Structure 1
């Protein structure tokens, strides 16, 4: 898991930067959500390595997402 996280640091950082410019309020909300998740986890090392405001919850909780869209 940690090796995978390290291999996509630049991509996830770029995606977060784009979100910060395109939708600052959503970027802030996502960042706050990660802080709250960290407060409720026993092992926060994975969050320390996570370089993106995007996560699986972002995809799951997006209402109106077309079922025809593929996430790769």
Structure 2
């Protein structure tokens, strides 16, 4: 912004013109984007603390025992 001229010329009359800054068009966000922003704001104040594994995750899987796969180092 520092490299831009202080008073650009008007495109219609070529007279010096002021810069006008407007607000973003927030109404163009979808309902899902508004819900996501609201959820992010709510979690900043009151984060949800998980104390157990959710039921949807199910039990842990058994490790693969395929001898054709290279053994990877465990961390």
Query: What TM-score comes out, normalization by structure 1 length?
Result: 0.26
Bigger radius of gyration among the two: 2
Query: What TM-score comes out, normalization by structure 2 length?
Result: 0.25
Higher relative CO (CA 8 A, sep ≥ 6), structure 1 or 2?
A: 1
The structure with more helix, counted as a fraction of residues: 1
